[in-house]
Amino acid sequence: QVQLQESGPGLVKPSQTLSLTCTVSGGSISSAVYYWSWIRQPAGKGLEWIGRFYTTGTMNYNPSLESRVTISADKSKNQFFLNLSSVTAADSAVYYCARDHGGYRDLWGQGTLVTVSS
Amino acid sequence: DIQMTQSPSTLSASVGDRVTITCRASQRISNALAWYQQKPGKAPKLLIYKASTLESGVTSRFSGSGSDTDFTLTISSLQPDDSATYYCQQYVSNSPYTFGQGTKLEIK
């Protein structure tokens, strides 16, 4: 079955760039059926959609983060990536990657905790 | 952005109860609404999409209804394993996807 796994540094310094990788197994990010999304959740708070990637190279971003976010992909490795620049403590959160089926997320990674601190 | 407002924020009910959570959208979203269940330390799990379609493998004790701005998630015959936080999410195209603030369901 399809599985998603996030990876990346758990600690990022303020003003630096947060970089995460989502590795997809059991399915292809080149699929025409799905988008591939990033979502985050600060500790004890709700969910925030960050953005998504589609196999054609289309990217959609949350306008609230768009100036700092880049989502990209490496189809040969079946991975997609999140870069969030100029981070502050407010960017500390659990970051999830997920399969996006027309807007709703039907499969999620387990999540990875990222803390922004000096 | 479309704002999603859930009520109540917390809910306490007993095993066997029928429970309803509501979600209201600030604009009409047709049936572009999903419900998720999240347990502590775990990723959200999709329960319902298109407002009322049950995701494969999800127990039929969960059901969804509504359209445009008002939606409900109903859990019939509450079980201990249903203790979790529930989120609604709208996915109207050409709009950033937004989630409700969550409803924490506790079992008495």
**What is the pLDDT averaged over residues B28-53?**
97
Instruction: Please count the other Cβ atoms lying within 10 Å of the Cβ belonging to residue A64.
Output: 13
A44 inside 8 A of chain B by CB: no
Contact A2, A27 (CB under 8 A): yes
Residue B95 has what pLDDT? 80
Rounded to an integer, what distance in angstroms lies between the CA atom of residue A79 and that of residue B107? Answer: 40
Contact B71, B79 (CB under 8 A): no
- Model confidence at B93, pLDDT cuts 50, 70, 90, reads confident
A109 inside 8 A of chain B by CB: yes
Nearest-CB residue to B97 (from A46, A49, A107): A49
CB contacts of A113 in chain B (<8 Å) are none
Chain centroid offset of residue A50 CA:
7
**What is the pLDDT averaged over residues A93-118?**
96
A2 inside 8 A of chain B by CB: no
Flag if A46 and B91 touch (Cβ within 8 Å): no
Instruction: Please count the other Cβ atoms lying within 10 Å of the Cβ belonging to residue B24.
Output: 15
- Model confidence at A3, pLDDT cuts 50, 70, 90, reads very high
Contact A20, A7 (CB under 8 A): yes
Flag if B87 and A105 touch (Cβ within 8 Å): no
Please report, for residues A13, A39, A105, the alpha-carbon distance to residue A77 in angstroms, rounded to integers and kept in the order given: 28, 21, 22
A111 inside 8 A of chain B by CB: yes
Residue A46 has what pLDDT? 96
Nearest-CB residue to B49 (from A49, A104, A111): A104
Flag if A46 and B87 touch (Cβ within 8 Å): yes
Please name the residue that has the structure tokens 């109903």: B74
**Which one has a higher pLDDT value, B53 or B95?**
B53
Contact B33, B23 (CB under 8 A): yes
Given a cut of 80, whether residue B94 has pLDDT beyond it is no
Please report, for residues B22, B24, B63, B83, B104, the alpha-carbon distance to residue B73 in angstroms, rounded to integers and kept in the order given: 6, 12, 6, 14, 13
Chain B's closest residue to A46, CA to CA, is B101
Given a cut of 80, whether residue B89 has pLDDT beyond it is yes
Rounded to an integer, what distance in angstroms lies between the CA atom of residue B108 and that of residue A79? Answer: 43
Rounded to an integer, what distance in angstroms lies between the CA atom of residue A118 and that of residue A14? Answer: 6
Rounded to an integer, what distance in angstroms lies between the CA atom of residue A41 and that of residue A3? Answer: 20
- Bridge partners of A23, per DSSP, are A5, A79
Rounded to an integer, what distance in angstroms lies between the CA atom of residue B100 and that of residue B103? Answer: 9
Mean pLDDT, all residues of chain A: 96
Contact A116, A14 (CB under 8 A): yes
Given a cut of 90, whether residue A79 has pLDDT beyond it is yes
Contact B102, B88 (CB under 8 A): no
- Model confidence at A98, pLDDT cuts 50, 70, 90, reads very high
CB contacts of B84 in chain A (<8 Å) are none
Tens-place pLDDT, residues A31-75: 999 999 999 999 999 999 999 999 999 999 999 999 999 999 999
Flag if B99 and A105 touch (Cβ within 8 Å): no
A49 inside 8 A of chain B by CB: yes
